[in-house]
Structure 1
Amino acid sequence: MRLLKVFLFTTSLVFLGQAAQAETAPDAFDGVVNLNRDIVVEGDIVYLSDIFSGLKEEQNAAIAHSPELGKNVDLDARWLWALAQKHDVNWQPNSRFDTTSVSRAGQKIDADQIKNSVEVALLEQGLADGHQIEFDLKDRALEIPAEIEATLRVESINYREGQSRFSAQIVIPAEGRPVITKVVSGYLIKVVNVPVLNRRLSKGDIIRDHDINWITLKSTKLSKNAITDLESLIGMTPKHSIKPESVIRTNDLDTPKAVNKNSLVTIQLNSGPLALRTQGRALDSGAMGDVIRILNTQSNTIVNGTVTGEGLATVQLISSTIVGN
């Protein structure tokens, strides 16, 4: 460790001595040259003019390949001074803190753009209808160099039906000579359109057309008693409060009661072509089509009637019953 400290100290003295010597040397350069900081380049090559500003046109030269996307290359004062001397650039560091970094300009093709393109390619082959794409890697966004047009095309699709797996070759840009080729892969997941409520409804509320929204869910996320058709919802009432956008099950719903227990009802007595009406009191609650017990308030007798309307129950009598009465 002690030897390392001595080496670093000696190196610093040599470095500063060289800098001082350069300051006192005759000026062999024209113009003011400055070091650029946090350099971002486009293209495959880093040029001298990317590092220093104020150069003459004839001084510009290619000095290195651009860094990989997403990576920075740090250039220290010693390296920069050596570069300036090699190319006769009128610049020298004031201290070891005269540094810079180089990165390559990039842009992203987002995951949605890739997903949409792959879905279209799958649909064209009759594969994606009623399915949803799920990539093996959740975020399939691609970072590409800034100088390349951010468009893509799907070159080919491979699909294994038994496993519902696919792979797709993506070419960037969409037109012209391919610059970047990537392969993405994933699964086709079966999905179902499901009707849900767009507002909270409570027990006794009647579900109407305007109460419905549609959402798309993976079929594996649905229970066997989940409601997936509109006809099973319209005209029904919740057994309990149902939140909006939640999957509705058959046991969450009830047929609305057309007659409530202890309410007054109209009794329609039918016997052949004859029909008589009288008043009664419901001893049970009932929905349309239910058979309930009704107390005839005039005769004080109990009859069974079928609920046929709001507050209405029909009792079928044989003719001899009416004649006898």
Structure 2
Amino acid sequence: MMRRFLLSLSLLVAVPAEAAGEAIARARVVIDTPQVRLVDLFDNAGPRGERVLGPAPAPGQRYIVPIGQLAAIARDNGLTLVGGGPTVVERPGRAIAREEVEAVLRDALLAAGAGGSPDARIEVQPFTPPTVPLAGTPQLLIEDLAWDHASGRFAATLAAIVPDEQPLRTRLAGRVTDLVAVPVAVRRIAAGTAVTPSDVRIAKLSPDRVPADVVLDPSELAGQVVRRPIAPGTPIGLSELGGRLVVMKDSPVVMTIEVPGLAVTAQGRALDNGARGDIVQVLNIASRAVVEATVIGPGRVRVTPGSMPVSRPTDRRFSNRRAELIR
């Protein structure tokens, strides 16, 4: 932002007019000190060149010294202004990064008992970074910290202290939230797929992203079949699990058919993955018939009496074939 600024003339001591020399006002001045000197504004500033005229702009700001004021400053310091126009005085600065502010704020919050761990999420909204001089490293302090345990909201003052500068104070407000460590999907997990250890990783999420029935132990997910697709980075709840696979596709299974007073078994091969209670298709090794069966345990399925063989369009050998379950 550019503004007009009147430098103080009360600090200046007039000199006899006969001592006046010619000076040229500079069009643009970039300074890195908190004060403006005579030599900053003029070429040929004379013996009073180091005289302080007034405060410099705040870091990252600028102002304009009008031509009339330049003429008065020159005259009161024994100079005659020759030509030129208004002078733009600017002072470079750097904005303090959000990370720097959050680091000192986190330490203050932890010291005050706010946030249960160093991994708590700190949200500062809105965040307007204070600007400090390019030269020098500011000391950042948190003052007047107030924190509400129930809501997690806080308010504080950030003080940026730089030697030879007025302390720069900025109000901060926001919320601190303890994160929850939960297993989340590494990649998309399709519905009906069993979860493997490589499918999940531990991530820290805010509580509003964690379902009430979330599974916290990754070992409890291994082998569990998901009922719906799970997107990457999503935690998994118990309601989304359909049980562990006890029958694996292409693995051998024992087929059981029970009729009053008789139980018959045969060897088969599972054509689908299945958790306990799932309906899967099974190939009877002896008859080569494919039937539907209910998974009743690890490597065991039960075929309902009277079940008809089914065809699998992907395998022509069974497309029109019918055979007995047990031969």
Structure that is richer in helix per residue? 1
Aligned residue for 2:87? 100
1:199 paired residue among 187, 201, 204: 187
- The 2-side partners of 1:99 and 1:174 are apart by 30
Letter in 1 for 2:109: L
Distance 2:135 2:248 in 1: 74
For the 8 Å contact 1:148–1:173, the answer to whether it is kept is no
Q: Percent identity?
A: 22
Q: CA deviation at 1:51?
A: 0.9
Partner of 2:25: 35
Specify the code of the residue in structure 1 equivalent to 2:29.
Answer: I
- Shift, 1:150, TM fit: 1.8
Question: Is the 2:60–2:132 contact (alpha carbons within 8 Å) kept by the matching residues of 1?
Answer: no
Cα distance in 2 for partners of 1:153, 1:123 equals 14
Change (3 A) 1:74 1:108: same
Q: 1:75 aligns with which of 48, 51, 65?
A: 65
Indicate the SS of the match to 2:139. Answer: coil
In structure 2, relative to structure 1, the CA distance for the partners of 1:73 and 1:157 (3 Å cut) is closer
Query: What is the Cα deviation at residue 185 of structure 1?
Result: 3.3
The corresponding residue for 1:142 is 130
State the Cα distance separating 1:249 from its structure 2 match: 4.3
Other-structure match for 1:242 = 230
- Once the two structures are TM-superposed, the CA of residue 81 in structure 1 deviates from its matched residue by 2.9
Question: Counterpart amino acid of 1:62?
Answer: V
Deviations 1:269-301 (A, max 9, x none): 9xxxxxx984147799732x448798977799x
Mean CA deviation greater in 75-84 or 250-259? 250-259
Report the CA distance shift for 1:265/1:89 in structure 2 as closer, same or farther (over 3 A). Answer: same
Question: What residue ranges of structure 2 are gaps of 5+ in the alignment?
Answer: 1-17, 258-263, 303-327
Gap change, CA 1:86 and 1:161, over 3 Å in 2: same
Task: Tell me whether 171-180 or 223-232 shows the greater mean CA deviation.
Answer: 171-180
Partner of 2:55: 65
Distance 1:256 1:188 in 2: 38
Alignment of 1:123-272 (within 5 A): 123-130=110-117, 131-135=120-124, 137-146=125-134, 149-155=137-143, 157-173=145-161, 179-203=167-191, 205-255=193-243, 257-259=245-247, 265-267=253-255
TM-score (normalised: structure 1): 0.64
Would you say the 8 A contact 2:60–2:94 is kept in 1? no
**Secondary structure class of the residue paired with 2:39:** helix
- Aligned partner of 1:6 in structure 2 is none
Unaligned 5+ runs, structure 1: 1-25, 270-275, 316-325
Indicate if the aligned counterparts of 2:130 and 2:170 stay in contact, CA closer than 8 A. Answer: no
Structure 2 counterpart of 1:88, one-letter code: G
Deviations 1:208-261 (CA, angstroms, capped at 9, x unpaired): 333323333321243434544423433234445433223444454444644379
Q: Which amino acid aligns with 1:101?
A: V
Amino acid at match of 2:123: E
Measure, in 2, the Cα distance between the counterparts of 1:148 and 1:297. Answer: 82
| Aligned mate of 1:109, from 93, 96, 103 | 96
1:84 aligns with 2:74: yes
Q: Secondary structure at the match of 1:172?
A: strand
C-alpha distance in structure 2 between counterparts of 1:162 and 1:303, whole Å: 54
User: Which residue pairs with 1:307 in the alignment?
Assistant: 297
**Matched residue of 2:79: which SS?**
coil
